[in-house]
Amino acid sequence: MQKVGFFQSVRLKLIVVYVLLLLLGIQVIGAYFVHRLEAQLKDNFTNSIEGRIDTLTYSLQQSFTADRTETDPTLESEVKDLITRFNYSSNDIRKLQVIDKNQRVVAAYGYESSLSGKKTSSIKITQSLILGNPSPETLVDPETNKRVWVGTRPISTNSKILGTVYYEADMSSVYNQLQKINSIFAKGTILAITITALLGILVARTITKPLSEMRKQAQIMATGDFSQKVEVHGNDEIGQLGVTFNDLNDKLKLSHATIEGERRKLSSVLSNMSDGVIATDRLGAITLMNAPASVLIGQTFEEVKGQSLIDVLDLNDQLSDISEIENTDSIITDLSSEDQHLLLKANFSVVSDENDEMDGFITVISDVTEQEKVEQERREFVSNVSHELRTPLTTMRSYIEALTEGAWQDPDIAPRFLDVTQTETDRMIRLVNDLLQLTKMDHKESNMMKNRVEFMEFFNHVIDRFEMHKRENIEFKRELPDRKLYVWIDKDKLTQVVDNVISNAIKYSPEGGTIRFKATTNKKQLIISISDEGLGMPANTVDKIFDRFYRVDKSRTRELGGTGLGLAIAREIIDAHHGKIWAESQEGKGTTVLFTLPLMSQKRRGKK
């Protein structure tokens, strides 16, 4: 679970926004207040200065217009006395000059050296003497770097300018007072922000605590745990959000349970399917595969994940692009190797999304090797039966047509034609009987009449029967044990097996050849072998001689009257006795046919 840091939390953002809004409000109010206060203080200051200057100007006007006698004080001394007294009563005016109409300084104070009697060239004084009363202004004294209020006031009577007063007033008191007020305002602002921040933390905590609980619950829900719910702290928007969140939790819990149940069902179905299932995305890359599919293709899901379905199933010869699957129902692909013959049938279906657009493919693969093999055997079986029946039927038809056309009247030809027809009829009857017997055994309809039989006596009896009618130039050699060996068999069916194997050995034995009969035991099995010294057969055909209608030398077998079903019937009979039959052969060195039978146990032998 990822933890959200304080500097990334909503709580800090709320506090910062809350404080910034308050700070913005305080700054706007403060700026307006200071601006208005500064203007008010400046107005009060200038009004005070202007009032005192007006009083001084009035007194100077009286002095400039007074009639003087020799005993009266001079204008200079009277003016100097006036500005000296004015200086004591006005500390804010740091510099003052009284100038007559000739721009000569009558009296002054606040200057380092005496200016009395000197002429001044100040532009402001000149403007005042000429124009009257120009507007005063605020300047910065370059020496002290302080703001000063500079102005002039003309001394006039009857619209006649007698002189002027030049003054500079120090405004430090105004700005010192503003600075003190700003300091008090700043301290108040800091105090207000501190209190606001503390209140903001409490308010933000009230707002963000339910959100934090919902975030934690959402992270728990992401793990699949829907057992917990968030606590609802009120009926406001956040409280309603908590109620909605709990409702969502309940619905997700139900949906998750439903989806999980369906997933388990699907997983169980996929795991227990005998067919393989492969899912791909729209580009044909494999995204899902069940265990049977892994077994069929011989690769694990981890090995083929993300690979192209066409490459994995070797469909490059049949499909050039994955989009062609949309128009293909099924394909049979050959995945055979040197050790195993494998044919897979792939059935395709398209997966569509909510917009009914192709989103991927589901491929179901099944092993059809045996089905194809059975189908091939069926086709071969039908072909072989048709061929086997066509030959004698064609022969019979030819001879019967000849007899019908008049050959039946010939005493020499007619018996010979009828004899051939009889031979071919017997051959077809044997073929049909063999087919019927195989059909019954295939459908488990052939009932075995098994009995306890001493096999050596039985085997010798069958060999004796053949030895009485064999050709003189063929020798029988027996290598059989003297002890008694008991088996549980159907004597008629096993006689048919031994007859067939011995008949084949006699058929394929050369002049002067030897047929050997052996019997050995291995654990609980009896092993019988019958060997001839014939031409043998290639190694790749040995296992096929037990297939139906298979012949190594078809022309010779047909000449000797074989149907090609004898060894196939023998295999079915031995299988029904829980044994096994096989052949061993080398070209030019003869063939040995071996079969096994279960030996009876000692306990069972003692029963009568």
| 3-class DSSP assignment, residue 376 | helix
From residue 414, alpha-carbon distances to 86, 399, 402, 408, 528 in Å are 180, 9, 9, 5, 47
Output the pLDDT for position 227. Answer: 78
Q: Report pLDDT for 438.
A: 63
Q: Are 516 and 530 in contact (CB under 8 A)?
A: yes
Q: Is residue 42 pLDDT above 60, yes or no?
A: yes
pLDDT band for 384, please (50, 70, 90 cuts): low
CA 527, distance to chain mean position in Å, is 60
Average pLDDT, the chain: 80
Task: Answer for the pair 245, 217: CB distance below 8 angstroms, yes or no.
Answer: yes
C-alpha to C-alpha distance for 459 and 527, rounded to whole angstroms? 12
Please give the distance of CA 30 from its chain centroid, rounded to a whole number.
60
pLDDT of residue 608: 44
Out of 195-204, 229-238, 298-307, give the one with best mean pLDDT: 298-307
User: Band of the pLDDT at 531, cuts 50, 70, 90?
Assistant: very high
> What is the rounded (10 degree) CA torsion for 284, 285, 289, 295?
90
- Say if CB 534 and CB 465 are below 8 A apart: no
Percent of the chain with pLDDT over 90: 7
Q: Which residues contact 358 (CB under 8 A, 6 or more apart)?
A: 282, 326, 350, 351, 352
Say whether pLDDT at 604 is over 60: no
Any idea which of 21-25, 378-382, 511-515 has the lowest mean pLDDT?
Answer: 378-382
What pLDDT, on the 0 to 100 scale, is given for residue 199?
Answer: 81
Q: What is the pLDDT of residue 110?
A: 79
Report pLDDT digits (tens) over 148-193.
Answer: 888 888 888 877 888 888 888 888 888 888 889 888 888 888 888 8
What's the pLDDT at 465? 86
Greater confidence (12 vs 561) lies with 12
pLDDT of residue 568: 80
Distance from C-alpha of 42 to C-alpha of 36, rounded to nearest angstrom? 10
Give residue 455's pLDDT: 92
Structure tokens, 515: 């047929």
Which pLDDT score is estimated for 603? Answer: 53
Answer yes or no: pTM beyond 0.85.
no
Secondary-structure percent of the chain, ordered helix, strand, coil, rounded to 5: 55, 20, 25
pLDDT at 345 over 70: yes
> Starting at the edge strand that comes first in sequence, how are the strands of the sheet with 514-522 ordered?
475-479, 514-522, 525-531, 591-598, 581-585
- Mean pLDDT on 538-553: 72
Cα separation, 567 vs 585, whole angstroms: 15
Question: What pLDDT is attached to residue 431?
Answer: 66
Separation between Cα atoms, residue 44 and residue 50, nearest integer Å: 10
Write down the residue that tokens 């819990």 correspond to.
253
Asked whether the predicted pLDDT for residue 559 surpasses 60, the reply is no
Q: Are 347 and 315 in contact (CB under 8 A)?
A: no
pLDDT at 1: 43
What is the rounded average pLDDT of the residues 19-35? 85
pLDDT at 88 over 70: no
Q: Which of 70-74, 322-326, 549-553, 557-561 has the lowest mean pLDDT?
A: 557-561
H helices present in 66-171, as ranges: 75-89, 123-131
What are the φ/ψ torsions at residue 364 (nearest 5 degrees)?
A: -105, 120
- Residue matched to tokens 């009828």: 418
The CB density around residue 360, as the number of other CB atoms within 10 Å, is 18
Task: Show the DSSP H helices in 449-565 as ranges.
Answer: 455-469, 491-508, 554-559
b vs e for 486-497, b when ≥16 Cβ sit within 10 Å of the residue's Cβ? bbbbbeebbbbb
pLDDT confidence bin for 385, thresholds 50/70/90: low
- pLDDT per position as a tens digit, 263-285: 788 777 777 777 888 888 888 88
Name the phi and psi angles at 194, rounded to 5: -60, -50
> 576, 441 in Cβ contact below 8 A?
yes
- What is 187-214 written as a DSSP string? HHHHHHHHHHHHHHHHHHHHHHHHHHHH
Q: Which pLDDT does position 449 carry in this prediction?
A: 82
* First vs last C-alpha separation in the chain: 81
Q: How far is CA 144 from the centre of its chain?
A: 78
Residue 516, pLDDT above cutoff 90: yes
521 pLDDT higher than 50: yes
Distance of alpha carbon 464 from alpha carbon 481, whole angstroms: 16
Mean pLDDT of 588-602: 86
* Burial of 594 from C-beta contacts in 10 A (0-12 / 13-18 / 19+): middle
Q: How far is the C-alpha of 226 from the C-alpha of 243, rounded, in Å?
A: 15
Question: Which residues are CB-contacts of 278 (< 8 A; sequence separation ≥ 6)?
Answer: 286, 288, 289, 293, 309, 312, 362, 363, 365
Q: Please compute the mean of the pLDDT values over residues 564-571 and round it to a whole number.
A: 78
Angle 449-451-454 (CA atoms, 0-180°, nearest 5)? 140
Q: What percent of the chain has pLDDT over 70?
A: 88
Exposure of 459 by Cβ count < 10 A (0-12 exposed, 13-18 middle, 19+ buried)?
A: buried
Q: Is residue 315 exposed (0-12), middle (13-18) or buried (19+ Cβ within 10 Å)?
A: buried
* Encoded amino acid at 43, one letter: D
**Statement: residue 526 has pLDDT above 90:** yes
Q: What is the mean pLDDT of residues 534-551?
A: 76
**Stretch 119-140: mean pLDDT:** 80
Widest Cα–Cα separation across the chain: 209
- Count of C-beta atoms within a 10 Å radius of residue 591: 25
The most confident of 440-444, 463-467, 513-517, by mean pLDDT: 513-517
What burial class does residue 579 get, using C-beta atoms within 10 Å of its C-beta: 0-12 exposed, 13-18 middle, 19+ buried?
buried
pLDDT tens-digit map of 462-502:
898 888 877 778 889 999 998 899 999 988 888 888 888 99
- The phi, psi pair for 482, rounded to 5°, reads -85, -20
- Check whether 400 has a pLDDT greater than 60: yes
Residue 518 confidence (pLDDT): 94
Tell me: pLDDT of 52 over 80: yes
Helices 413-442 and 566-576 sit at what angle, rounded to 10 degrees? 30
**Tell me, what's the pLDDT at 389?**
67
Closest CA relative to residue 56, chosen from 31, 96, 80, 83: 83
pLDDT 10s digits, 355-376: 777 788 888 888 877 777 767 7
Query: Which of 368-377, 425-434, 580-589 is the most confident on average?
Result: 580-589
594 pLDDT higher than 90: yes
What local confidence, expressed as pLDDT, does residue 557 receive? 47
> Could you give the strand order of the β-sheet that contains 93-100, starting from the edge strand earlier in sequence?
105-109, 93-100, 160-170, 147-157, 137-140
Q: What is the mean pLDDT of residues 563-588?
A: 83
pLDDT recorded at residue 383:
65
pLDDT at residue number 558: 47
